[in-house]
Amino acid sequence: MLLPIRLLLSGLVALLAFAMPTLAAEKAIIILDGSGSMWAQIDGKARIEIARETLNKVLAGVPGELELGFMSYGHREKGSCDDIELLVPPAAGTGAAISEAAAGITPKGKTPISAAVQLAAEDLKYTEDKATVILITDGLETCEADPCALASSLESQGVDFTTHVVGFGLTDEEGKQVACLAENTGGQYIAAGDETTLTEALKTTVAEVAAPTEPEPAVEPEATPAEFNLVPQVVIAEGDTSIDPDADIVWEIHKANADGSEGEYVATEYGPDYKGKLEPGTYLVRSSIGYARVEMPVTIEAGKVAEPYFVLNAGQLTIRPLPSAGAEPDSNAAVFTEFPNGESTTSYGETKVWVPAGETKVQVTIGTGVVSEAIAIKSGELLSKDIVVGVGVAAVNAFYVEGMKVEDSELFEEILEAKKDIQGNRKSLTYNYGPDHNFELPPGDYVLVSSVGGAKLETPFSIAAGERTEVNAILGAGVVAITAPGTDKVEVFGAKKDIQGNRTSFTYGYGGALQTTLTAGDYVVVASPAEGEAKQTSITVVAGERLEITVE
């Protein structure tokens, strides 16, 4: 179940605040998940946006002497377990630099949690000094590493090493799989599961950061509570008389400059029942829910209560991306939405978001299938929309011979349009490496190009919407293992020469050895030493068999 934004914000704030009292005499690095799943939404807002807002809020109150660094992963390229970058080295007064770095992160890739925590520990010189890592992640390790074992290793080798982890929208079961990073290093794992606990933790920890070393004498409570002088009212649409008390209303307050423009930041508050107490003056107050917002100037006068009335003029839009009619929503579908106010966002799977009244442009992508639609929504309307992309699934594999599947990770599978252009070329649509891939494609005719080593085959096939098609490429190939002691390069050519007397080169390798896959047939192996004459031998490859030869 998706949790309200303010709970996740509170969880992040609580975790960062929890670490701060212990960081006064040490360094820390905050690691922010930059993997592709950070575009997923929570109550209509992307996780990456929530993380940025939280960092801005927390860092604004960090003591200037606290030495903080900032790292991210998965933010520069897809599919890489090495995409980890220290964006801000640990130093005092880095709050603004960290906020700026977080604002520039574009989630794309994998989740190499263990490698990132290891690098952060090393950057903090954890074997020599106290070191703390604060990990913010919305997913689990995806790079074949064991976070629990890593945590135990860092704890045993470090002088005083601690990792705190915030699980960003993780289920209880998922949380258990990353909590060991904190538990095995004496840190704390926090999930946004209990509003009261998180709120109290936030109050306590922030107070500890700001409090002086010696406790101050207790202050007697005032006889009467302080009066509020800002009591705004907010409604979703004109004429509404009530609003859900759990609605994720956000209030942003800035001082107003003399020319009426936005000035110094004052506060961010939450909830439809917000009341505040401000110094006399003129402010710009912005109320928002999701991507719908309204802003107005508010003047606070001494001894008076300002009661501005905000009409958000919003509707709630639910997008259900369907691969085919009657199917369930695809959780991996990319949903790009562009709102009437010019803002846009990308989320995945079924998407529910508050939008400004008017026309919202929606583009849904499933595999290579893309559908665009403009959806009009009225103020106060709750609209659910099914968008059918209309794709089928091509389940792709390659076989040396019938029944003998290619398990090689170097297998390259590419999908091309069947139709050729005027130059005789086909358009490439998508590709992947290794066996057992499902490609989601619109109805039509295609060609699968399967290649591994020196073997390559084109297999035509067709796709129907809502159907699964098994596409098996029978390469008719075998595997050749060549050893050529004392040589530098081994190259395999076709046995038959063309009209010019040249042979086709199929594959090659260096270091006196080569293992490759070749289509059944006759070939010539040429082994070339660094100096001297090349050695040549003829071979015959049999489909479904392995051939081992030594070129003397």
In contact, 499 and 486? CB cutoff 8 Å: no
In contact, 348 and 40? CB cutoff 8 Å: yes
The count of other CB atoms within 10 Å of the CB of residue 490 is: 24
Query: Above 60 in pLDDT, residue 336?
Result: yes
In contact, 37 and 78? CB cutoff 8 Å: no
Look at residue 22 in the predicted model and tell me its pLDDT: 42
Look at residue 226 in the predicted model and tell me its pLDDT: 56
Q: Give the tens place of pLDDT for each residue, 305-332.
A: 999 999 999 999 999 999 999 999 999 9
Q: Give the tens place of pLDDT for each residue, 206-244.
A: 333 333 334 445 555 443 345 899 999 999 998 876 788
- The pair of structure tokens assigned to 427 is 């358009």
Buried b (16+ CB within 10 A) or exposed e, 15-50: bbbbbbebbeebbbbbbbbbbbbbbbbbbbbbbbbb
Look at residue 26 in the predicted model and tell me its pLDDT: 65
pTM of full prediction above 0.95? no
Tell me the pLDDT band of 204, cut-offs 50, 70 and 90: very low
**What's the average model confidence in pLDDT over 12-18?**
51
Look at residue 11 in the predicted model and tell me its pLDDT: 52
Tell me the pLDDT band of 109, cut-offs 50, 70 and 90: confident
Residues in CB range of 273: below 8 A, 6 or more apart: 245
Look at residue 327 in the predicted model and tell me its pLDDT: 93
Look at residue 209 in the predicted model and tell me its pLDDT: 30
Selection from 123, 53, 443, 83 nearest residue 269 by Cα: 53
Query: Above 90 in pLDDT, residue 126?
Result: no
Residues in CB range of 534: below 8 A, 6 or more apart: 526, 527, 528
Q: Is 184 helix (H, G, I), strand (E, B) or coil?
A: coil
Q: Give the tens place of pLDDT for each residue, 489-521.
A: 999 999 999 899 899 999 999 988 999 999 999
Tell me the pLDDT band of 76, cut-offs 50, 70 and 90: confident
Query: Above 50 in pLDDT, residue 5?
Result: no
Task: Using alpha carbons, list the distances in angstroms from residue 510 to 8, 483, 493.
Answer: 54, 11, 15
Look at residue 283 in the predicted model and tell me its pLDDT: 96
Torsion-angle region of 410 (φ positive above 0: left; ψ -120 to 50: alpha; else: beta): alpha
- Rounded to an integer, what distance in angstroms lies between the CA atom of residue 30 and that of residue 198? 20
User: What is the set of domains in the chain, with CATH numbers?
Assistant: 5-210 (3.40.50.410), 233-311 (no CATH), 314-388 (2.60.40.10), 392-474 (2.60.40.1120), 477-550 (2.60.40.1120)
Q: Give the tens place of pLDDT for each residue, 148-203.
A: 889 888 998 988 888 988 887 777 778 788 888 988 988 888 775 444 433 343 33
Residues in CB range of 104: below 8 A, 6 or more apart: none
Residue keyed to tokens 């423009």? 261
Tell me the pLDDT band of 528, cut-offs 50, 70 and 90: very high
- The pair of structure tokens assigned to 162 is 């601690």
Poorest-pLDDT segment among 209-223, 411-425, 471-485, 536-550: 209-223
Query: Above 90 in pLDDT, residue 342?
Result: no
Look at residue 208 in the predicted model and tell me its pLDDT: 32
Look at residue 218 in the predicted model and tell me its pLDDT: 53
The mean pLDDT of the chain is 86
State the DSSP H helix or E strand holding residue 17, giving kind and residue range, or none if neither.
helix 5-19
